[in-house]
Homo-oligomer: A and B are copies of this chain.
Amino acid sequence: MIQLTRLKSKLAEICDLKGAASVLGWDQQTYMPPGGANARAEQLATLEKLSHEMFVSAEMGELLEGAAAEVSALAYDSDEASLVRVTRRDYDKARKIPPALVAEIARTTSLGMEVWVKAKAESNFAVFQPILQKIYQLHQALANCLGFEERMYDALLDQYEPDMKTSALEEIFANLKAELVPMVHALSDKLNSVDGSVLHRHYDGQKQWDFGTEVLKRFGYDFEKGRQDKSVHPFTTSFSINDVRITTHVDENFLSSALFGTLHEGGHALYDQGISPSLERSPLSAGASLGIHESQSRLWENPVGRSLGFWKFFYPRLQSIFPDSLAPVSLEAFYQAINRVQPSLIRVEADEITYNLHIMIRFELEVDLLEERLKVADLPAAWNARMKDYLGIVPSKDAEGVLQDVHWSHGLIGYFPTYSLGNLISVQLFEQAKAENRDIPSQIERGHFSGLLEWLRTHVHRHGRKFLPLELVERATGSHFRAEPYIDYLKNKYSEIYLT
């Protein structure tokens, strides 16, 4: 397999460059002094340029042809056949995008970010409107280059969620919305029955940090193959399967920030640490998609980390660490506090139920803008109308509405839906794991997670990027991706909290 060997060696070098870029990105957000910013931008741009050039080279195309012939007799899910298949898909997509368009998008979104900062500070959508329009035009051009069979939005979605279709998302989100919107309206009278104020007491930062470390270790996160640091925005990054790092943000006056942030990033990191070592230094050594990756972070954060069983074990421990704040608060009251529902304007502050409605608003508006059923000029009005319909509240200014997220200024169109996909898939996987290993819930009540982790390692983690996201869900659960498990999960959980 001479061609395959040469292909692997070329791809390994590209992985090294991407790994190096990830180290530089990690440093940038954790320890880099302010003066380092300009040089760092140049270094990252050069690494990106070189790895892109190496990947789209004609030589790579020839190696892929040759290797495809060599692996044609191998099993579909073998490392070798998967490597060639997935890389071929990446290569064909990468070759379709003209470098001039990449450069123009980079220039525009780099400028867009600055414009967005100004527009948000002034809460003035008119400032952002022209460049957002340009960003949409460029992404229409991008979608046309990438090509699509049915819907223009498919081409953009495919960058983050390979092979996912807009029409499938619309269908599944419609189901979800039909359940969630009435649920939110039904709960709106009962919001005050749950008190979340306990989360806003004072919690020593170092003690929060130590508690998070303890939970991570119990989850199975390996500190010999990773570490946790502090950053403004928490993130997970991976330089190899054996060096997967997370960050967290500690707020001494809000317990949830570091706590659930750590569980969330821990979930991402368990995925990256669990990829098969045989995929190291290859393009398969990553998550299957953003949605699948988010399913792992959400699973440990919500179905596990916001469950009563989890806190049966950990709450006495947390009480002993913070007796002043928590001794007077019962397990049940704490459990309710961390699951409090509150329709709010800001996505990143939203609870488990309303979060998905924030995402749907963005998804629906993105599709309408791209497919020209909505004009950018009309975006704020459309935003506010949907907020009123889905959440029953309307922002008083655009900074708390349509201007709240940085993502569109970066050119991230087709990206938001992956957050809700993650929520949906997290529960579908969790239910399957529990169906196959009925000991998991009682393990969690005893602070043991090996049953769950082992199931995820076997059915999700080890495969890396071998399979398309929906293919992976089907292989793992034996059924199509569907919204019902998630809807049932929310209904059961929140009816118990709010309706009893």
Chain A residues proximal to chain B, CB less than 8 Å? 12-13, 16-17, 19-21, 23-24, 27, 31-36, 38-40, 42-43, 45-47, 49-50, 222-227, 229, 239-243, 245, 280-281
Is the Cβ of A47 less than 8 Å from the Cβ of B16? yes
Q: What is the CA–CA distance of A190 and B223 in the complex, to the nearest angstrom?
A: 53
Copies in the complex: 2
Q: Chain B residue with minimal CB distance to A46? A: B16
Smallest CB-CB A-B distances: 5 pairs: A39-B240, A36-B243, A35-B242, A35-B225, A16-B46
Instruction: Give the nearest-CB partner of A24 in chain B.
Output: B23
Inter-chain contacts of A227 with B (CB < 8 A): 31, 33
Question: Could you say which residues of chain B place their CB within 8 Å of the CB of A240?
Answer: 35-36, 38-40
Chain B positions within 8 Å of A225 at CB level: 33-36
Query: Among A43, A50, A225, A243, which residue has the most Cβ atoms of chain B within 10 A?
Result: A43
6 intermolecular pairs with C-beta atoms under 8 Å apart: A13-B46, A13-B49, A17-B43, A17-B50, A19-B39, A20-B23
Chain B residues with Cβ below 8 Å from A40 are: 239-240, 243
Contacts of A27 in B (CB 8 A): 23, 27
In the complex, are the beta carbons of B243 and A32 less than 8 A apart?
A: yes
Nearest-CB distance from A119 to chain B (Å)? 29
Bound-state Cα–Cα, A222 to B40, Å: 18
Q: 13 additional contacts, CB 8 Å, given A31-B229, A33-B225, A39-B240?
A: A12-B42, A16-B42, A16-B43, A16-B47, A17-B47, A19-B43, A20-B23, A20-B24, A20-B43, A31-B31, A35-B225, A35-B240, A36-B243
Q: How far is the CA of A36 from the CA of B222 in the complex (A)?
A: 12
Closest partner residue, chain B, to A17 (CB atom): B46
